[in-house]
Chains A and B, each alone.
Chain A
Amino acid sequence: MKARVTVTLKGGVLDPQGKAIEGALRSLGVAGVASVRQGKVFDIELDSADRAAAEAALKQACEKLLANTVVENYRVDIS
């Protein structure tokens, strides 16, 4: 089973990297970019074929390590 975990900064948390990318896009002449927030993507392969077990393991992975829930949100997509 494969899963994708997406970790993004919570709203209101200053993202200087996103701001810098936003500025770079603007200076490249890419039109219509209102704002950029940078995040992380983890592609994870799981041994388990059991969806509920996989969901539980991924939640644990996110809470324990992948996201710092003080400033980050995470989303799990199992395919």
Chain B
Amino acid sequence: MNAAVILFPGSNREGDVARALRQATGRAPTIVWHAETALPPGVDLVVLPGGFSYGDYLRCGAIAGRAPIMDAVRAHAARGGLVLGICNGFQILCEGGLLPGVLMRNRDLRFICKMQHLRVERADTRFTTAYGSGDVVKVAIAHGEGNYETDEDTLKRIEGEGRVAFRYCDAAGVVGGAANPNGSTNDIAGVYSEKFNVLGLMPHPENLIDPLVGGIDGRGMFASLAAA
């Protein structure tokens, strides 16, 4: 598994995700500056890390979604290559046209930074084989704009095609109500592309890979990708 992590001005979780990838694959990812126009040869997985690219100017992820490297990322995805966008990376994927929908301001207008339970909706994609379908995992969330919105037709299509990757839930795996931290439509925390090779999610699995910092529930995603 050869991974590349794209670095935008204002990214700040690239080190975390690089560590998670190194732990799972035994190999450090290449860090690629956003102004590049090509990915390193032989890249299997492109990761857009969390942070505040371009200071969240205009809309979260809007300017990064149109950065020079993004044409290469779109071409990689069109070839069936793996793309993972975490938090700001998810926002960039939506703004860059790689995933449907948009991440709006949290329902309660607050930046939320806490531990959150998620339900793994399916365990048969290259991002989730190390989990079980319906598993409840506990990972960190840290965002001000994580409220997933889309038009009704798109929502129907996403749900109908089983493209919801994770939903916010409580410790028992029950979704809805107070378990939804940000008002996200249908409690959506993560979404796949049509071919299930692109995943965007607001939570931070890369921060839960070491018992020292409170849990290892995030390891499954990187173990899945390492085996993909």
A residues whose Cβ falls under 8 Å from a Cβ of B: 13-14, 16-17, 20, 64-66, 68, 70-71
Contacts of B107 in A (CB 8 A): 14, 16
Contacts of A13 in B (CB 8 A): 104, 149
Whether B109 lies near A71 (C-beta < 8 A) is no
A66 to B106, CA, bound (A): 21
Contacts of B63 in A (CB 8 A): 65
Nearest 6 CB-CB pairs, A to B?
A70-B102, A16-B105, A16-B109, A71-B102, A20-B109, A68-B102
> Which of B62, B100, B102, B109 contacts A17, CB < 8 Å?
B109
List 8 A–B pairs whose Cβ atoms lie within 8 Å, in order of A's numbering: A13-B104, A13-B149, A14-B107, A16-B104, A16-B105, A16-B147, A65-B62, A70-B101
B76 located at the interface, meaning its Cβ lies under 8 Å from any Cβ of chain A in the complex? no
A13 to B151, CA, bound (A): 9
Given contacts A16-B105, A70-B101, list 9 more A-B pairs with CB under 8 A: A14-B183, A16-B106, A16-B147, A17-B109, A66-B58, A68-B59, A70-B100, A70-B102, A70-B149
Residue of A at shortest CB range from B109?
A16
Whether A70 lies near B151 (C-beta < 8 A) is yes
B residues whose Cβ falls under 8 Å from a Cβ of A: 58-59, 62-63, 66, 95, 100-102, 104-109, 147, 149-151, 183
Contacts of A14 in B (CB 8 A): 104, 107, 147, 149, 183
A10 to B65, CA, bound (A): 21
Main secondary structure of the interface of A (DSSP, over half): helix
A65 to B64, CA, bound (A): 11
Whether A65 lies near B183 (C-beta < 8 A) is no
Do A68 and B95 contact each other (CB < 8 Å), given the known contacts A13-B149, A14-B149, A14-B183?
yes
Do A16 and B58 contact each other (CB < 8 Å), given the known contacts A65-B66, A68-B102, A71-B149?
no
A50 to B84, CA, bound (A): 44
A64 to B165, CA, bound (A): 28
Distance in Å from the Cβ of A20 to the closest Cβ of chain B? 6
A46 to B95, CA, bound (A): 26
Contacts of B62 in A (CB 8 A): 65, 68
Whether A71 lies near B66 (C-beta < 8 A) is no
Distance in Å from the Cβ of B90 to the closest Cβ of chain A? 14
Residue of A at shortest CB range from B106?
A16
Whether B58 lies near A65 (C-beta < 8 A) is yes
A16 to B108, CA, bound (A): 7
Contacts of A17 in B (CB 8 A): 105, 109
Best-buried of A16, A17, A20 by chain B (most CB within 10 Å): A16
> Which of A64, A66, A71 contacts B104, CB < 8 Å?
A71
Residue of B at shortest CB range from A64?
B66
Residue of B at shortest CB range from A10?
B151
A71 to B103, CA, bound (A): 10
Contacts of B66 in A (CB 8 A): 64-65
Contacts of B59 in A (CB 8 A): 68
